[in-house]
């Protein structure tokens, strides 16, 4: 059967299609209330601003804040939250003008306020587990649900007070590492993520992920067992610490190294940046759950979790300095052209085989009328199955060809 030779090709194309993700989501959780935990709110809002800057829209960010420090009567700067004593950036209401200054950077407008999905008493262990596993009643708002699938990469960041294998929620309850591990397992079974980056900033943070047993997870924390996670500095006018050390240096790396949504920086570089000299504790990373282990995890692009999945538009450089780049672009276009020609030949061959199989296949209705007692059921089913596979092959290859042609036109 010549048609059977197409099955490996079709399976390879399907596997290739499922090897990439199509969306990025972020779940950002602060678990502490009360004014003296100001830094935990600033931690989360800083990460929130970073992922928005790198392209993840609010519709794909779940923000959980148990307290509103911006409106606390102790706040000397009402309506604002800062993550640095310079107060150059208001992470609560980033409108581009802070502390009476002009715009924080030349020609750059602020990103506006924040969209909080769960606030106050809504931030509980139960609501987090329900969010991750999507165990909500039908009346629960879509905007407060994690609408992911098996093609979604998820960044989960948590901060607060914790200990050995637990993280406190608002000083009233705790979530254990085993609770998170089981929730992630349910997510995997329900095909709710493709790959996950789990980050946690708390005391003994690295004890929160050894219990994980679900594949495709990279986990990192701020401190080892029996170690504290320290704040970075305080603002004397605010009166409390404004950011934690581990989160501060994560932000420092992301803000200085990822200048655009096309930055090609790897997770390994970020992990290596978290040295004991910087964070004053032993930051940890777990790689073994990720396919390919440490090497593959470290080689993942940071934007595979912190940025948005989007099409790329290439601006042609007409300047003399861009002449060398034009040669590279011409070489790439020739390669694409060869691939496109190969796809066209594959489509033509597949279509010819389909037409041949269709011509050879007997008419089931006619066969039944002429010999109703001798209808070869197995042959008919085999013919129908072969035709279905061939049509799928034609569809997949045609889509690839059209996609390549579109790219060439661009």
Q: In angstroms, what CA-CA distances link 247 with 46, 142, 272?
A: 9, 30, 14
How many Å apart are CA 24 and CA 64, to the nearest integer? 18
CB 153 within 8 A of CB 23: yes
- Token readout for 389 is 């596979």
Q: Mind spelling out the 3-state secondary structure of 138-197?
A: CCCCHHHCCCCCCCEEEEEEEECCEECCEEEECCCEEEEHHHHHHHHHHHHHCCCCCEEE
- Token readout for 158 is 């948590």
Q: In angstroms, what CA-CA distances link 76 with 79, 212, 281?
A: 9, 42, 31
CB burial of residue 261 (10 Å; 0-12, 13-18, 19+): middle
Catalytic: which of 40, 161, 194, 232? 161
- List all residues 6 or more positions away from 348 whose beta carbon is below 8 Å from its beta carbon: none
CB 62 within 8 A of CB 185: no
CB burial of residue 128 (10 Å; 0-12, 13-18, 19+): buried
The per-residue DSSP string of 363-407 comes to: -HHHHHHH-TTS--HHHHHHHHHHHHHHHHHHHHHHHHHHHHHHH
- Gyration radius from the chain CA atoms: 27
Is 203 a catalytic site residue? yes
β-strands 23-30, 152-159 pairing: parallel
Catalytic: which of 203, 233, 280, 371? 203
The runs of H, that is alpha helices, within 258-376 are 267-273, 276-279, 293-298, 303-306, 323-360, 364-370
CB 374 within 8 A of CB 309: no
CB burial of residue 185 (10 Å; 0-12, 13-18, 19+): middle
As annotated, the active-site residues are 161, 203
């Amino acid at each position: 059967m010549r048609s059977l030779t197409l099955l490996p090709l079709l399976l390879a194309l399907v596997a290739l299609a499922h090897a990439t993700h199509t969306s990025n989501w972020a779940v950002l959780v602060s678990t502490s209330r009360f004014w003296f935990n100001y830094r935990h709110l600033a931690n989360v809002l800083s990460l929130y601003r970073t992922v928005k800057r790198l392209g993840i829209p609010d519709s794909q960010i779940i923000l959980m804040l148990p307290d509103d420090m911006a409106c606390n009567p102790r706040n000397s700067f009402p309506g604002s939250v800062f993550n640095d004593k310079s107060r150059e950036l208001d992470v609560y209401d980033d409108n581009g003008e802070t502390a009476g200054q002009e715009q924080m950077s030349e020609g750059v407008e602020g990103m506006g306020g924040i969209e909080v999905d769960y606030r106050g008493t809504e931030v509980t262990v139960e609501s987090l587990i329900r969010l991750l596993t999507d165990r909500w009643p039908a009346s629960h708002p879509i905007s407060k649900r994690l609408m992911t699938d098996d093609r979604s990469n998820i960044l989960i960041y948590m901060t607060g007070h914790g200990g050995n294998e637990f993280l406190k929620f608002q000083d009233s309850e705790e979530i254990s590492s085993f609770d998170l591990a089981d929730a992630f397992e349910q997510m995997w079974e329900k095909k709710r993520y493709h790959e996950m980056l789990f980050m946690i900033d708390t005391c003994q943070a690295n004890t929160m992920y050894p219990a994980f047993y679900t594949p495709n997870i990279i986990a990192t924390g701020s401190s080892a067992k029996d170690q504290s996670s320290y704040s970075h500095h305080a603002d004397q006018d605010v009166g409390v610490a404004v950011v934690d050390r581990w989160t501060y240096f994560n932000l420092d790396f992301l803000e200085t190294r990822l200048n655009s949504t096309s930055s090609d920086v790897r997770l390994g570089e970020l992990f290596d940046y978290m040295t004991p000299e910087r964070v004053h504790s032993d930051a940890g990373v777990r790689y073994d759950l990720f396919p390919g282990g440490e090497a593959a995890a470290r080689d993942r692009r940071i934007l595979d979790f912190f940025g948005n999945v989007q099409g790329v538009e290439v601006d042609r450089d007409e300047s003399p300095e861009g002449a060398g780049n034009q040669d590279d672009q011409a070489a790439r276009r020739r390669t694409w052209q060869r691939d496109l020609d190969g796809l066209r030949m594959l489509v033509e061959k597949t279509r010819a085989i389909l037409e041949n199989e269709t011509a050879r296949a007997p008419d089931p209705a006619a066969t039944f009328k002429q010999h109703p007692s001798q209808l070869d059921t197995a042959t008919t089913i085999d013919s129908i199955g072969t035709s279905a596979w061939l049509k799928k092959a034609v569809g997949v290859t045609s889509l690839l060809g059209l996609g390549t042609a579109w790219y060439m036109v661009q």
